[in-house]
Amino acid sequence: MARKKNRKQVFTEVEVIDAGAKGKTVAKAPDGKVIFLPNAVPGDVVDVQTFKKRTAYYEGKATIFHKLSDKRVEPECEHFGTCGGCKWQNMGYEHQLFYKQKEVVNHLTRIGHIELPEVTPILPSKEQYFYRNKMEFSFSDSRWLTLDEINSNEDLGDKNALGFHIPGMWDKILDVKKCHLQADPSNAIRNAVKAFAIENNLEFFNTRNQTGLLRTMMIRTSSTGEIMVLVQFFKDDKTKRELLLNYIAETFPEVTSLQYVVNEKANDTIYDQEVIRYKGEDHIFEEMEGLTFKINAKSFYQTNSNQAYELYKLTRDFAGLTGEELVYDLYTGTGTIAQFVSKKAKKVIGVEAVPDAIMAAKENAERNNITNCEFFVGDMKNVFNQEFINTHGHPDLIITDPPRDGMHKDVVQQILNIAPQKVVYVSCNSATQARDLALMDANYKVTRMQPVDMFPQTFHVENIVLLEKRN
């Protein structure tokens, strides 16, 4: 059998011409193939060293920069390039927006073969930094070292880290000094907790050996000013746990919800673990247009609250409700979109897989004095069937906001069977949205589209589409 050639190649002075492709930029090799690069900006002229060759493309790295693009800006963050969080920080915001919109249009036209109406320009985020309301930091006893540190002869000092996973490396944690994604006191809490833990010999976790005490810390902030801190411990050590939690409570009295988890499993997800309230409440609230939403440690809530408000307003606008409609809100989470559109609808039915989220949705609706929303729990492809429609009524409009994988094909088929006049499809992954829209194209026409930037400095983009039934 012929061996696959995976020889490294060098291409000199190639121009970087595009961006998208999961955050990578794109250049063309002399043989016409595309090269994906993680470390360039469109407009750069670079030498490329390839490390992977496929039939249609190469993957490589820019090694020498002959010309730097005028689309470049100086990254704000000292961790840029090592941390995987904000890959586009070195590109001006207007250019980030341009490439995000281009990617959405490309996906819908090239994957979906959808005929698009005039696309409303992507909605920028007002905050380009410090826009996230939730961050999770990991503890590690062996922090990621940069090449410079490894090559230096200096004493590297403390090896503990509290920060983010290095992209693609499950056991390597970058020690973060200042993160530009969540507003203070997030950085202050993280840095103080790290220093206190070191001073008091609270052991940081070692993922490979599964040893240590401190695993992760989640910080949630809110527009109401409330703050949640949740520390995940590996061992049930009451003395050390209380030492740290009391320190957080005393040093940061503005924390309104202090909680913890003791997780002795190999993986650090808290979703199957008991969350214990230590001080304050077991939740915080988020507020939007007079509606309040209770958020507990496990709740999904859009991470850019201000831009979520814009996303929901656009969704409501696309829905064009008159007050007479029965609306289905598929993948409703804690019922945020359902409640947001409820004033303009006769009735809204929300469906979601996570039982806790549905409990929160019901509680939120009650607190908000909303009486025309009902919520049901279950896997969409099983729950959203003909019997469900017979019981709850034929929707005039469906709003759907699925996870990154998009909708199950049975769910798409069920929407086609129900054939509501309009569908509003909100998506955080335009590739799967394009796939789903292609399945609906014979019956529905895309009449409006609006990309929304929820995540500046990253390549992620949200997209809202209005589908109207073809006659």
Ligand X SMILES: C[S@@+](CC[C@H](N)C(=O)[O-])C[C@H]1O[C@@H](n2cnc3c(N)ncnc32)[C@H](O)[C@@H]1O
Count of residues that bind ligand X according to CB under 6 A: 17
Q: Give yes or no for residue 379 binding ligand X (CB under 6 A).
A: yes
Query: Is 452 among the residues that bind ligand X (CB under 6 A)?
Result: no
Q: Of 422, 421, 273, give the one whose Cα is nearest residue 356.
A: 273
> How far is CA 369 from each of CA 2, 290, 327, 363, rounded to the nearest angstrom?
69, 11, 18, 10
Residue identified by tokens 């007002």 is: 126
Interface residue with ligand X among 175, 203, 352, 453 (CB under 6 A) is: 352
Whichever of 114 and 411 has its CB closer to ligand X, that residue is: 411
| 127: nearest Cα among 303, 307, 312 | 307
Which residue, 187 or 304, has its beta carbon nearer to ligand X?
Answer: 304
Q: If binding is defined by CB under 6 A, does position 300 make contact with ligand X?
A: yes
Nearer to ligand X, 62 or 357 (CB): 357
Residue 410 counted as an annotated binding residue: no
Spell out the residues 6+ positions from residue 215 whose beta carbon is closer than 8 angstroms to its own. Answer: 138, 139, 205, 232, 233, 234, 263, 268
Both tokens of 391, joined, read 């019981």
Task: Enter the tokens of residue 418.
Answer: 């129900």
Q: Of these, 103, 141, 396, 401, which contacts ligand X (CB under 6 A)?
A: 401
Q: Which of 451, 379, 381, 370 is nearest to 409 (CA)?
A: 381
Q: State the minimum distance, in angstroms, from the CB of residue 395 to ligand X.
A: 16
Question: Which lies closer to ligand X via its Cβ, residue 140 or residue 334?
Answer: 334
H runs (alpha helix) in 205-299: 238-251
Asked if residue 41 binds ligand X (CB under 6 A), the reply is no
Q: Could you tell me if 461 and 451 are in contact, meaning their C-beta atoms sit under 8 angstroms apart?
A: yes
Q: Which of 111/353 has CB closer to ligand X? A: 353
Q: Residues in the chain, how many?
A: 471
For residue 149, the Cα-to-chain-centroid distance in whole angstroms is: 31
Find the binder of ligand X among 135, 174, 314, 357 (CB under 6 A): 357
CB of 294 to ligand X, least distance (A): 13
Amino acid at 337: I
Residue 289 CB, nearest approach to ligand X (Å): 14
Active-site pick, 83, 86, 373, 428: 428
Annotated binding residues, as ranges? 302, 331, 352, 401
Residues classed as catalytic? 428
* Site of interaction with ligand X (CB under 6 A): 300, 302, 331-333, 336-337, 352-354, 357, 379-380, 401-403, 428
Annotated binding residues for S-adenosyl-L-methionine, as ranges? 302, 331, 352, 401
